[in-house]
Amino acid sequence: MSPKERDHVRSARERAWIGVPFTRVAFVVVAVSLIATWSTVAHQAGATGRAKTTVPHAVAKAPTTAAEKCVNSFDQACGPFHWNPSPEANQPTTTSVSPAALSGVAGRDLSFDTAAADQDAGIACHWILFGDEQVSLIPSVMFHQRYGEWTPPAKQAGDFHQTYVHTYAKPGVYHVQFGARSGDGCESNYNPYGGESVATATVTVAAS
């Protein structure tokens, strides 16, 4: 076929396609439908054998009962505070000040070695009174009233050591007091294994 004949045939085909718009639209619709069907089938085939992912439904949690709310609670409505079960025997808290008797000179530093220990509760706070209206307190006192049933805490050993340095401005005899409390805090003690102890020392201060 000559080039002129081929051009003639191609022009005839183009005229036929343009002249029949309904046929052209139908062809496009069928093509789109086939593509969509093929995509769906391919997606399903690719998913075959793949683990199905599901989102678990949240399990409804049973509402907390009034009794559960009153375990280890600070709510006054829970009634008087009490332990359940009953705690074991409490070991005492011990404190010491060293030296127990000390001499010094007014205006000069004096050192005190202090210690506190408890076999079944941590040392929660401690303080020292130097006998001349000077006091050191660590930490500050806080109070939280407890109500209802409380579970006894686990036993744990506690100890504390610290050296204090103090200067007396005037001569005289002074009585040093070092105290410590074990348990949950320096407040009304709600740890059944906590306690309190105070140790003393005597300081004689001469004029400079």
pLDDT digits (tens, 9 = 90+) for 128-172: 999 998 777 665 556 678 899 999 999 999 999 999 999 999 999
Say which range, 1-10, 29-38, 74-83, 137-146, has the weakest mean pLDDT: 29-38
Residues 200 and 100 in one domain: yes
User: In the structure encoding, which two tokens stand for residue 139, read together?
Assistant: 């930490």
Question: Does the pLDDT at position 60 exceed 70?
Answer: no
148 vs 9, residue with greater confidence: 148
- Nearest Cα neighbor of 94 from 63, 72, 66, 126 is 126
pLDDT band at 17 (very low <50, low <70, confident <90, very high): very low
84 or 53: which leads in pLDDT: 84
Least reliable range by pLDDT among 63-67, 102-106, 142-146, 177-181: 63-67
Please tell me whether residues 79 and 132 are part of one structural domain: yes
**What pLDDT score was predicted for residue 43?**
42
3-class SS shares of the chain: helix, strand, coil, % to 5: 25, 35, 40
Using pLDDT thresholds of 50, 70 and 90, give the confidence band for residue 45. Answer: very low
Query: When comparing pLDDT for 189 and 113, which is higher?
Result: 113
Task: Name residue, tokens 């969509």.
Answer: 36
Domain count within the chain: 2
In a domain, 110, yes or no: yes
Higher pLDDT, 61 or 170: 170
Average pLDDT on 94-120 reads 97
Residue 25 lies in a domain: yes
The number of beta carbons lying within 10 Å of the beta carbon of residue 208 is: 9
Mean pLDDT of 60-67: 59
Start-to-end CA distance of the chain, whole Å, equals 135
To the nearest whole number, what is the mean pLDDT of the chain?
77
Length of the chain: 208
Rounded mean pLDDT, 33-38 = 41
Q: pLDDT at position 133, please?
A: 84
Which domain does 17 fall in, by range?
A: 1-34
Residues 103 and 176 both lie in one domain: yes
Describe the crossing of helices 21-47 and 3-19 by its angle, rounded to 10 degrees: 80
pLDDT at residue 98, as a whole number: 97
Are 194 and 140 within one domain? yes
Q: Is residue 46 part of a domain?
A: no
CATH number at residue 172: 2.60.40.650
Are 162 and 119 found together in one domain? yes
